[in-house]
Amino acid sequence: MSSENGQTAGRGAADHVDAVIVGAGFAGLYMLHRLRDKLGLKAEVIEAATGVGGTWFWNRYPGARCDIQSVHYSYAFSEELQQEWTWSEKYAAQPEILSYLNFVADRFDLRRSISLGTRVTAATFDEASNSWDVETDRGRRLRARYVISAVGCLSAGHVPSFPGVEAFAGKTYHTGRWPVEGVDFTGQRVGIIGTGSTAIQTIPFIAQQASHLTVFQRSATYATPLGNTPSDPAEGGDGPGEAATRLAMEWESWAGVPFPRIRPSGKGVSAEERTAWFEECWAQGGFALWGGSYADLLFDPELNEAAAEFIRAKIKQKVRDPAVAELLTPRGIPYGTKRPVCETGFYETFNRDNVTLVDIKAAPIVEITATGLRTAAATHELDSLIFATGFDAFTGALFAMNIRGRGGKRLQDHWGEGPRNYLGLSIHGFPNLFTITGPFSPSVLFNMPRGIEQHCDWIADSIAAMERQNLASMEATAEAEAAWMAEVKAIADMTLFPTTDSWYLGANIPGKPRVFMVFLAGGKRYKEICDEVVADNYRGFALSPA
C-alpha cells in the first residue's frame, strides 16, 4: 500500500522520477533522449542487460545481422548522428549494430540516466496518486508518473519444455541469450533445434566449426538470399542532405523499407513475366521478393503460390540430395505469412558432409538425454545443444514485468483471453502506461527503428500535452480498445497472414491465446491514425484533470 509521499509501508523509500522507461534497446534509448533532453523530464531507464543495445546486446550468435539495409535500419531523428556514423556493410552484423547503439548512448550522454543489470520485477499503479510504483530485482523502488515499456517485441526467449533437458551433460544455449564471450564449437557434435530466421543465419557458421551439426527441423522455411555487400556510397541514402528523401520513401512503403519498383498487382500477369520479375527481385536480395515484387502478394493465394513455387525451385537447385531438398521445401503455407527470412549459404550448408537434417515433424523429439537427443525415430549423440526456438513475442516481456493497473488487476489476467489495447500504445485500466511497439501496432511488420521513433515521438508529445494541461492521467477507453481490436482484425483478415500458424498469432507458444497482433495497413496509415487521434483531442482516451 502506498502513502502520499511515495513511500511504501514496510519497504524502503522510493526514488521519485517523472518517467521510468524499461529497456535500453533502440526504443528505450530514443525515449530517454526525447523525455529527458527534449522535454526536460526526470527520466530513468532500467535495463536488465549489463549493456545497452537490447536485441543487439543479447543475440550474439554467429551470423547475427539485420536484414533491412542499415541505412534504413538505424535512427533518423538526428541528421548529425547520421553523418557521424558510417555503416561498413549493406546489412550490418550484430557487433556493428551494437557498437552503433553504444555510440548513440555516448553521443547523447544517455548512460548517466540508465541503470544496467537491473530488472523491473513489478510495476503497480497507485490510484490515489495517479503514479506507478516500480520495483527492481536489486531491491530498488521508483515512483513515477509515467511508465514506458521499451521491453521489445522479441526479447523474452522461448525454450520449449522438452523432457529431460536438465539431464543433458553438455552445454545448452538459447540464441537470444548468447554468451558475451562467444562459444567455440571446434571438435564438437552440435545440435540445433529450429529453422527460423535465427537458425538460418547461424547454421552456416556453426557448421564450419563443429565436427558435426545436426539440425532438428519441425517446419521448413521460405528463405531468400540476403545479398549482403560492403557499403556502397554510390547507392546513397545516408549522405548529407539525403535524409528527407530517404525518410519520405520509407514512410511511403508499406513495411518502411523502400521498394519503389513494386508492381501493383500480379493478377493476370503471364507466368513468364511473373517469373522474370521474381528472378529480378531474388537477385536484388533482402526483402525484395516479399515486399517489393507485387503489392497483392500477401492477399492473392494464386499469386502467392507462384512465388512459393519459384522459391521451391531455387531450393531444389541449391541442395544436392533430393531428399534433403524436399525436406527443406515448405509446402502448404503461403509464402511470407511467417516473418520473411533471408539467408546466406544456408541451403548450401546441407551439401556438407558434417551436416544432417532431421525431420522432427515426422518423428518428434521424445526427450533430451544425458548424452544427446532422442526422437521417435533415432537417438543423436551431442556435446552441445542450441535452442533457436524463438520468442514469446509481444506479451512475454510485458507479463514478466508484473504490471498491475487499476484495482490491482494484473495485466496477465486482464489479457487472459488475449491482449487488447488501443493503437498498440495504451491499455484500458492501466493509465499513464505506454507500450512502445506494443501488440496491434505495425511493430514487427514495419522497419522497427522507424516505428519506434514514431511511437516515442507520439508518447513524448502526449506526455508534454498532459504536463501542459496539468492532467493527472491518460488511458484508453474500453470502447476505443474494442473498436481498435475490430479494425486490426478486419485488416488482418483481408490478408493471408492469419491462415498460417506463426508467432504473430502467438501460435508458437503452447496455450497462448490466438490473436493476430500486428496492424497490417502499413506504417504510414498507422501514423496518420495516431496523428488524427491527437488532432481530435485524444479521441478514444480518457483524460483526467489533476
Query: Near ligand FAD by CB under 6 A, which window of 16-24, 76-84, 355-363, 375-383?
Result: 16-24
Residue 402 binds ligand N01, judged by CB under 6 A: no
At 95, list the grid cell: 557487433
Please choose, from the candidates 383, 423, 426, the residue with its C-alpha nearest in 3D space to the C-alpha of residue 405: 426
Residue 503 binds ligand N01, judged by CB under 6 A: yes
Residue 196 binds ligand N01, judged by CB under 6 A: yes
Residue nearest to ligand N01 (CB): 196
Residue 227 binds ligand N01, judged by CB under 6 A: no
Q: Are the beta carbons of 72 and 447 closer than 8 angstroms?
A: yes
DSSP states along 363-432: S-EEEE-SSEEEESS-EEE-SEEEE---B-TTTHHHHHT-EE-GGG-BHHHHTTT----BTTTBBTTBTT
Residue 193 binds ligand N01, judged by CB under 6 A: yes
Q: Is the dihedral of CA 229, 230, 231, 235 positive or negative?
A: negative
Residue of the chain from 22, 110, 193, 433 that contacts ligand FAD (CB under 6 A) = 22
Residue 154 binds ligand FAD, judged by CB under 6 A: yes
Q: 93 - beta bridge partners? A: 65
Residue of the chain from 6, 14, 19, 26 that contacts ligand FAD (CB under 6 A) = 26
Residue 205 binds ligand FAD, judged by CB under 6 A: no
Q: How far is the CB of 124 from ligand FAD (least distance, A)?
A: 14
Residue 425 binds ligand FAD, judged by CB under 6 A: no
CA distance 20 to 433: 10
Residue 197 binds ligand N01, judged by CB under 6 A: yes
Q: Are the beta carbons of 344 and 64 closer than 8 angstroms?
A: no
Which residues between 13 and 72 bind ligand N01 (CB under 6 A)? 66-67
Residue whose CB is less far from ligand FAD, 74 or 369: 74
Q: Which does 119 bind (CB under 5 to 8 A by kind): ligand N01, ligand FAD, none?
A: ligand FAD
Q: Are the beta carbons of 31 and 21 closer than 8 angstroms?
A: yes
CA distance 370 to 379: 12
Angle 243-252/523-535 helices, nearest 10 degrees? 100
Which residues between 391 and 420 bind ligand FAD (CB under 6 A)? 397, 400-401
Residue 195 binds ligand N01, judged by CB under 6 A: yes
Residue 198 binds ligand N01, judged by CB under 6 A: yes
Side-by-side strand order, sheet with 379-381: 365-368, 372-375, 379-381
Which residues between 160 and 179 bind ligand FAD (CB under 6 A)? none
* Residue with cell string 520473411: 340
Q: Which does 160 bind (CB under 5 to 8 A by kind): ligand FAD, ligand N01, none?
A: ligand N01
Which residues between 275 and 334 bind ligand N01 (CB under 6 A)? none
CA distance 424 to 418: 13
One-letter amino acid of 322 = P
Residue 392 binds ligand N01, judged by CB under 6 A: no
Q: How far is the CB of 343 from ligand N01 (least distance, A)?
A: 9
Residue 388 binds ligand FAD, judged by CB under 6 A: no
Residue whose CB is less far from ligand N01, 204 or 431: 204
Residue of the chain from 69, 82, 131, 155 that contacts ligand FAD (CB under 6 A) = 155
At 446, phi and psi to the nearest 5?
-145, 150
Query: Near ligand N01 by CB under 6 A, which window of 109-117, 192-200, 366-374, 519-527?
Result: 192-200
CB count within 10 Å of CB 166 equals 7
Please choose, from the candidates 231, 485, 460, 218, the residue with its C-alpha nearest in 3D space to the C-alpha of residue 362: 218
One-letter amino acid of 268 = G
Summarize as ranges the residues that interact with ligand FAD (CB under 6 A). Answer: 22-28, 46-49, 54-55, 57, 59, 64, 66-68, 73, 119-120, 150-152, 154-155, 198, 397, 400-401, 436-437, 447-448, 452
Summarize as ranges the residues that interact with ligand N01 (CB under 6 A). Answer: 66-67, 154, 160, 193-199, 201, 218-219, 339, 342, 360, 388-391, 444, 503, 508
